[in-house]
């Protein structure tokens, strides 16, 4: 079956031939579940060639789909790529298997700074290895924002979105925000000088009050169409994932209509997210799963995934192999100083989740 790349990424199509999803009956296999467009164009074929293990490869486009499969159990997968946001729940549910580090000699290539960041979701780094990572930040249409706010528009600050006088003007050309309370409410808390991972219900009331003040100027909350709308010029500002903006920028450039898209990591700090290689507890081929994970940790293997997804990898020794255009982009590969400002989002108790859900419903409805 052929899987085609999204128009918001590199604009080329990649056909994963039938052998990827139908393994030979007599060959050793590993079952892998990953985000679409998140692996090098020849990686699966190369893995089969180098190890003799047949990869049975499926893709998903929603973290909720992945979480549901793993929580239900008997997913049929050995290795999955899971967001740091859902790791604590998967670990608590016993859905993941601790990694045998003795079988992962290529761990030496992983950036220790990113491993340390991941400890917030995976204490002692027992279950997950960071694969690709990025940030939540601001995507914007350069010319439209300049026309509305002038040359001094604070495009590198959360003030662009969270100061009502700015947002009111930007509403003329459209503002999209992720429909993601577990990400947006912590950003609002952070902007207010409160802990982004607060468990205090009163803090969420303050974040809700801020968002309600801004709500009349927000065009929509949606996680799926922000990238395409930004690329098409239908909105001029978006609070979204870094990868969505880089894809939108490339799509806009390819369209050749003069839409110039840029991305910024606000100077006040922003969420860092990572998608991570994990071993499924009830997988049928854990030894093959470890072999696959170790293979993905090779610098020459991870570099093409970064170039394809326009998303940084966690492999410090892959830098020289990533295209210069990607490697030299400070919004894809931030400096150490910027990384120090990034924070990792953590899961909350059911009680706090209920508070956040109610707040988000009120915000979206403008109550």
In a domain, 3, yes or no: no
Measure CA of the first residue to CA of the last residue in the chain; give whole Å.
47
Average pLDDT over residues 116-135: 95
Residues 196 and 289 placed together within one structural domain of the fold:
no
Structure tokens belonging to residue 131: 């694969």
In a domain, 177, yes or no: yes
User: What is the distance between the alpha carbons of residues 89 and 110, in angstroms, rounded to a whole number?
Assistant: 24
> Tens digit of pLDDT for each residue in 278-314?
999 999 999 999 999 999 999 999 999 999 999 999 9
- pLDDT of 210 above 90: yes
Strands 128-141 and 271-280: antiparallel
C-alpha distances (whole Å) from 307 to each of 14, 23, 60, 298, 303 are: 14, 28, 20, 15, 6
Domain CATH code at residue 55: 3.40.190.10
Structure tokens belonging to residue 310: 């326009």
User: What is the distance between the alpha carbons of residues 338 and 321, in angstroms, rounded to a whole number?
Assistant: 22
Q: Do 172 and 75 touch, CB atoms closer than 8 A?
A: no
Question: What band does 25 get if pLDDT is binned at 50, 70 and 90?
Answer: low
Report the mean per-residue pLDDT for the chain: 91
In a domain, 338, yes or no: no
Q: How many domains does the chain have?
A: 2
Q: Do 280 and 90 touch, CB atoms closer than 8 A?
A: no
155: number of CA atoms within 13 Å, CB side?
A: 22
Residues 130 and 153 placed together within one structural domain of the fold:
no
3-state secondary structure 13-81: CCCCCHHHCCCCCCCCEEEEEEECCCCCCCHHHHHHHHHCCEEEEEEECCHHHHHHHHHHCCCCCCEEE
- pLDDT of 93 above 60: yes
Residues in contact with 328: Cβ distance below 8 Å, sequence separation at least 6, in sequence order: none
Residues 205 and 124 placed together within one structural domain of the fold:
no
300-317 as b/e, with b when 16 or more CB fall inside 10 Å? Answer: ebbbbbbbbbbbbbbbeb
Residues 213 and 109 placed together within one structural domain of the fold:
no
**pLDDT (0 to 100) of residue 3:** 24
- pLDDT of 8 above 90: no
In three-state secondary structure terms, 120 is coil
**pLDDT (0 to 100) of residue 26:** 64
**pLDDT (0 to 100) of residue 19:** 39
CA 125 to chain centre: 19
Q: Report the candidate in 101, 90, 97 with the shortest Cα–Cα distance to residue 283.
A: 97
**pLDDT (0 to 100) of residue 340:** 93
Residues 107 and 165 placed together within one structural domain of the fold:
no
Domain housing 205 = 135-271+345-365
Residues 108 and 217 placed together within one structural domain of the fold:
no
Strands 79-83 and 261-264: unpaired
In a domain, 11, yes or no: no
CA 315 to chain centre: 16
Q: Report the candidate in 25, 52, 47 with the shortest Cα–Cα distance to residue 34.
A: 47
In a domain, 7, yes or no: no
Residues in contact with 214: Cβ distance below 8 Å, sequence separation at least 6, in sequence order: 161, 162, 164, 167
Residues 139 and 249 placed together within one structural domain of the fold:
yes
């Amino acid at each position: 079956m052929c899987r085609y790349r999204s128009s918001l990424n590199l604009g080329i199509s990649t056909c994963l031939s039938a052998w990827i999803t139908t393994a030979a009956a007599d060959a050793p296999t590993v079952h892998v579940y990953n985000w679409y467009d998140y692996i090098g164009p020849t990686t699966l074929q190369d893995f089969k060639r180098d190890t003799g293990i047949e990869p049975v490869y499926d893709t998903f486009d929603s973290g909720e789909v992945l979480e549901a499969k793993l929580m239900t159990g008997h997913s049929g997968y050995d290795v999955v790529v899971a967001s740091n946001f859902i790791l604590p729940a998967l670990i608590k549910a016993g859905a993941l298997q601790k990694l045998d580090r003795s079988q992962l000699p290529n761990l030496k290539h992983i950036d220790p700074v990113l491993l340390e960041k991941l400890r917030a979701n995976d204490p002692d780094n027992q279950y997950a290895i960071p694969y690709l990572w990025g940030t939540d930040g601001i995507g914007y249409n350069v010319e439209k924002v300049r026309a509305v706010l002038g040359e001094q528009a604070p495009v590198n600050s959360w003030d662009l979105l969270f100061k009502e006088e700015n947002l009111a003007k930007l509403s003329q050309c459209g503002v999209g925000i992720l429909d993601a309370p577990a990400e947006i409410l912590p950003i609002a808390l952070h902007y207010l000088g409160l802990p982004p991972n607060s468990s205090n219900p009163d803090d969420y009331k303050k974040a809700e009050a801020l968002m309600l003040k801004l709500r009349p100027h927000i065009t929509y909350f949606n996680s799926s169409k922000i990238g395409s709308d930004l690329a098409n010029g239908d909105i001029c500002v978006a609070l979204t994932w870094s990868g969505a903006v880089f894809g939108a920028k490339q799509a806009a450039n390819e369209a050749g209509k003069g839409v110039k898209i840029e991305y910024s990591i606000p100077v006040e700090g922003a969420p860092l997210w990572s998608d991570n290689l994990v071993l499924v507890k009830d997988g049928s081929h854990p030894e093959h799963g470890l072999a696959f994970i170790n293979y993905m940790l090779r610098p020459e293997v991870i570099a093409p995934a970064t170039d394809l997804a326009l998303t940084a990898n966690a492999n410090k020794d892959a830098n020289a192999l990533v295209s210069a255009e990607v490697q030299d982009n400070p919004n894809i590969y931030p400096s150490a100083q910027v990384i120090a400002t990034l924070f990792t989002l953590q899961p909350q108790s059911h009680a706090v989740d209920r508070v956040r859900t109610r707040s988000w419903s009120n915000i979206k409805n403008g109550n």
